[in-house]
Structure 1
């Protein structure tokens, strides 16, 4: 499992610098220090290696950048979501609708990238993805830690991708 993560980390770094066309199995091999045969042990080809992972990490990075640029939406939304009042504030309704749309989009991406996963597995991963993102945001706010939220979201996306890959392979 460690070699797979080294391969994925190297791929994300290279693809981030050079893009899809500039990323090759040879470049990934050189970056991670593993032979090409190790890469092919885990991944069929370049598309299997880069396309789904690059897509989910890019999405995660975009979400994180949005949260860094406008943190009050999530902060206020989470506060409203946790409160129960006799009359629902409109802001809570809007926030919950945005969360529902986010969940649906994550579900669509997971279903597209991992067609072998059943509905229950996709749902579990989508819930985990949103909850993990919430946790990363809350941790940063609660602790005042100046941790790079974009990097954390990218790591979270890679972990979800890896979990989905393992779950699909086990089916």
Structure 2
């Protein structure tokens, strides 16, 4: 019987250690960035020896990639269009859900943007993961555009999707810089309204173009 309990106890301890390491990595990386983060600093922050960190993660890059992956799961869940309401209400609700997810778990976008804006001879796995999961979020937003405006051509969908994602990045950066003086929820609500108006304008332009060529 004691032998049956041992694996469960070991697994539980391992999960708790992994959580502590990831939490410490977020704290260190948020203060020092990717290049300033080291296994030694994470070890000092979480109180676990470096050997424990290397037991869970191959290297620093693997650790930062895990940080991004963990927070991305909750963030991506917010990039889901509600089923109820008018088109404007549904887009606004999704936008606010994204803003709340960023407030609850900002490390995904904070660390990801740092990595995305930097170029290195060897691309870190963490940067690759951020770009991959970001592409998935972008596809979801493009699907939302197509749902409300199936008549739009690919170029228009890409234009509006790029604008929506880039604008959201800017609002997040404004919050990072401005801190408590910036109301991210209000900004994302405004952002949703502007995106919806842009969508409406593109649809009207598409209909006019179709009529002129018919």
RMSD across aligned C-alpha pairs, in angstroms? 1.3
Partner of residue 155 from structure 1, selected from 179, 185, 190: 190
Q: In the alignment, is residue 52 of structure 1 matched against residue 90 of structure 2? A: no
For 1:26-105, list aligned pairs within 5 A: 51-105=86-140
CA distance in 1 between partners of 2:155 and 2:137 (Å): 17
Shift of 1:99: 1.1
SS of equivalent to 2:86: helix
CA distance in 2 between partners of 1:151 and 1:98 (Å): 25
Structure 2: gaps of 5 or more residues: 1-83, 207-214
Q: Please give the TM-score of this superposition, normalised by the length of structure 2.
A: 0.55
Corresponding residue of 2:172: 137
Q: In the alignment, is residue 168 of structure 1 matched against residue 200 of structure 2? A: no
Shift of 1:146: 2.6
CA distance in 1 between partners of 2:121 and 2:200 (Å): 43
Shift of 1:145: 4.7
Larger Rg: 1 or 2? 2
Corresponding residue of 1:110: 145
SS of equivalent to 1:144: helix
CA distance in 2 between partners of 1:162 and 1:104 (Å): 20
Structure 1: gaps of 5 or more residues: 1-19, 21-49
CA distance in 1 between partners of 2:156 and 2:180 (Å): 33
CA distance in 1 between partners of 2:108 and 2:143 (Å): 24
Corresponding residue of 2:69: none
